[in-house]
């Protein structure tokens, strides 16, 4: 399948370096589901070729992917509004022109609804419900309306519309790139970049919803296709320069991604520093991402310690932070020995729980007050020894 993605032939400029505005069309070498058939999750392992791009990265960096919208959703929008898909519309600040279908597929965010979109859309309909919703005193209801809904919901709910395709297109934001923590080491995999992408699927307001980029990767990108990508350096997430430093990595779910890169890099460089990984997910049988690789690294001594927490395998839910607390004595010894501590993955819950657990470990094993434990952690942060890549 040839994806109809922006700039899909690397023709924009061969001279300019590839970047967010001039992405490289990376060929998909591999795209597999890491989860077992019984899993409620789908996590894709994707390998891309960077051959000929001149792009390079170091462990800790992210890859930006510029996605395209679901053709079924684009078709549903065109059908709903009885638009002509060939109609030429103007998009963006530079006033680029393209057929409507292309604009809705590759150029515009059609799954994101904002207060501003609804407020501006109110000028194109007399629908009383919408007029009421955009009144200043209803700001919180407006915000609530946007959550879990998209453009199609809005167009279906608040007609009849007195708007041209161009009027609606002008309300929409430009498609933004999605970032993914790089899951490979370039030293270990020359000319390649690997990603670990969790498919975002949920039901809201009676419709099944699909994350734009993650579901594109899960359902529509096949080996041999290309994806527009760029490298996004991350100055705040990196391996210690010194090869003899110990590292502790906490990366449940897709949070494992940068640590696969770290471990691969350290394996190639034959570093002397120890490494300890905490991984977690729902079930060991179906959700232990990269299990074989990790166990092999452990056997080979590249990974000194591997602790796992599978939350749905026991009556009492066990998470990575519980494994940290169980190992508090040894964990504190590693910290006292100068270890670097890394967290990657869920920002809302996991990263906060891990931060709390870390403070508890320092408090208990260092016989410190909570304030002193927090100061200890702050000091680690200032030394670059507590780094987070959370989203």
Ligand X SMILES: Cc1cc2nc3c(=O)[nH]c(=O)nc-3n(C[C@H](O)[C@H](O)[C@H](O)COP(=O)(O)OP(=O)(O)OC[C@H]3O[C@@H](n4cnc5c(N)ncnc54)[C@H](O)[C@@H]3O)c2cc1C
Rounded Cα–Cα distance for residues 229 and 248 (Å): 30
Q: Which residues touch 359 (CB under 8 Å, ≥6 apart)?
A: 370, 373, 374, 377
Residue 177 binds ligand X (CB under 6 A)? no
Least spacing, CB of residue 147 vs ligand X, in Å:
6
Residue from 50, 62, 91, 152 binding ligand X (CB under 6 A): 62
Rounded Cα–Cα distance for residues 251 and 244 (Å): 22
Rounded Cα–Cα distance for residues 337 and 134 (Å): 57
Residue 202 binds ligand X (CB under 6 A)? yes
Cβ closest to ligand X, residue 204 vs residue 372: 204
The DSSP symbol for 174 reads B
Residue 194 binds ligand X (CB under 6 A)? no
Cβ closest to ligand X, residue 117 vs residue 213: 213
Residue 213 binds ligand X (CB under 6 A)? yes
* Binding segment (CB under 6 A) for ligand X, from list 88-96, 174-182, 238-246, 312-320: 174-182
Residue from 88, 123, 204, 233 binding ligand X (CB under 6 A): 204
Rounded Cα–Cα distance for residues 257 and 197 (Å): 9
Report the site for ligand X in 66-105 (rule: CB under 6 A): 67
Residue 180 binds ligand X (CB under 6 A)? yes
Residue from 98, 146, 157, 179 binding ligand X (CB under 6 A): 179
Write out the two tokens for 175: 């498609």
CB closest to ligand X, residue no: 211
Cβ-contact 325, 305 below 8 angstroms: no
Site string for ligand X, 229-258 (x = CB under 6 A): -------------------------x--x-
Write out the two tokens for 357: 């657990």
Cβ-contact 49, 27 below 8 angstroms: yes
Identify any residues that bridge with 161 across adjacent strands, giving them in sequence order.
Answer: 125
Residue 106 binds ligand X (CB under 6 A)? no
Reported as type and span, the H/E element at residue 226 is strand 226-232
Write out the two tokens for 1: 């399948």
Residue 214 binds ligand X (CB under 6 A)? yes
Residues that bind ligand X (CB under 6 A): 62, 67, 111, 147-148, 178-181, 196-198, 200, 202, 204, 211-215, 254, 257, 389, 391
């Amino acid at each position: 399948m040839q994806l109809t993605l922006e700039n899909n032939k690397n023709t924009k400029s061969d001279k300019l370096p590839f970047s967010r505005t001039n992405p490289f069309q990376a060929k998909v070498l591999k795209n597999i589901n890491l989860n077992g058939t019984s899993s409620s999750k789908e996590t894709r392992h994707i390998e891309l070729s960077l051959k000929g791009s001149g792009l390079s990265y170091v462990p800790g960096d992210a890859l930006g992917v510029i996605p395209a919208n679901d053709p079924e959703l684009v078709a549903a929008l065109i059908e709903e509004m009885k638009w002509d898909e060939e109609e030429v519309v103007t998009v963006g600040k530079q006033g680029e022109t393209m057929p409507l279908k292309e604009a809705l597929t590759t150029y515009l965010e059609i799954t994101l609804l904002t207060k501003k979109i609804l407020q501006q859309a109110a000028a194109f309909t007399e629908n009383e419900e919408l007029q009421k919703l955009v009144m200043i005193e209803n700001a919180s209801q407006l915000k609530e309306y946007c959550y879990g809904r998209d453009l199609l919901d809005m167009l279906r709910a608040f007609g009849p519309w007195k708007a041209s395709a161009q009027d609606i297109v002008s309300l929409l934001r430009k498609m933004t790139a999605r970032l993914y923590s790089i899951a490979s080491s370039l030293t270990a995999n020359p000319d390649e970049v690997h990603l670990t992408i969790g498919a975002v699927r949920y039901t809201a307001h009676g419709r099944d919803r699909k994350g734009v980029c993650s579901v594109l990767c899960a359902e529509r990108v096949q080996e041999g296709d290309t994806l527009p990508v760029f490298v996004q350096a991350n100055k705040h997430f990196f391996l210690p320069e010194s090869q003899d430093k110990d590292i502790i990595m906490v990366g449940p779910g897709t949070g494992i991604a940068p640590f696969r890169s770290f471990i691969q890099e350290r394996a190639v460089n034959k570093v002397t520093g120890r490494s300890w990984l905490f991984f977690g997910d729902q079930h060991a049988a179906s959700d232990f991402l990269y299990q074989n690789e990790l166990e092999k690294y452990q056997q080979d001594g590249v990974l000194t310690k591997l602790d796992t927490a599978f939350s749905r395998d026991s009556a009492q839910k066990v998470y990575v932070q519980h494994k940290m607390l169980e190992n508090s004595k040894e964990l504190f010894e590693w910290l006292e020995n100068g270890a670097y501590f890394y967290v990657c993955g869920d920002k809302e819950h996991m990263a906060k729980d891990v931060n709390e657990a870390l403070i508890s470990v320092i408090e208990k094993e260092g016989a410190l007050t909570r304030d002193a434990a927090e100061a200890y952690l702050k000091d680690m942060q200032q030394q670059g020894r507590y780094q987070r890549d959370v989203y």
